[in-house]
């Protein structure tokens, strides 16, 4: 290593997809969209806390990252002690609509299907 170079320790995070999130992803009819969502999830293995944005309110403690342009979101939680990223939901962003991914995630939390 030359002078002034820093050695950075590269940590890969383990990705866990909950059964609920997996069902949401598999439920998407377009294989191309499923593939793009899978690619974004795979990228979360590196620096997940520098990707997406923190959510607020009922979804506080979770993060959201965009996939497939602006239309889809992946909601995930980071557990730093275990170096794990848990994908809890994925779906389309349709503000004000009952299938909006954020509305679905809030329902899942109320039903205690995600924590």
Domains and CATH numbers, the chain: 14-110 (3.30.2310.20)
Q: What tens digit of pLDDT does each residue of 37-77 get? A: 999 999 999 999 899 999 999 999 999 999 988 799 999 99
H or E element that contains 72: strand 72-79
Question: Which burial class, exposed, middle or buried, applies to 29 when counting CB atoms under 10 A from its CB (0-12, 13-18, 19+)?
Answer: exposed
pTM: 0.84
Q: Percent of the chain beyond pLDDT 90?
A: 55
Instruction: Specify the higher pLDDT residue, 39 or 4.
Output: 39
């Amino acid at each position: 290593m030359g002078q002034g170079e820093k050695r950075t320790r590269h940590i890969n995070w383990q990705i866990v997809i909950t059964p609920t999130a997996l069902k949401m992803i598999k439920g998407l009819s377009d294989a191309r969209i499923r593939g793009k969502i899978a690619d974004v999830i795979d990228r979360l293995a590196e620096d997940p806390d520098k990707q997406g944005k923190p959510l607020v309110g009922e979804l506080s403690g979770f993060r959201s990252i965009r996939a497939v342009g602006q239309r889809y979101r992946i909601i995930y939680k980071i557990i730093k002690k275990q170096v794990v990223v848990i994908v809890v939901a994925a779906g389309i962003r349709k503000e004000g609509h009952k299938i909006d991914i954020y509305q679905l995630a809030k329902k899942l939390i109320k039903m205690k299907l995600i924590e």
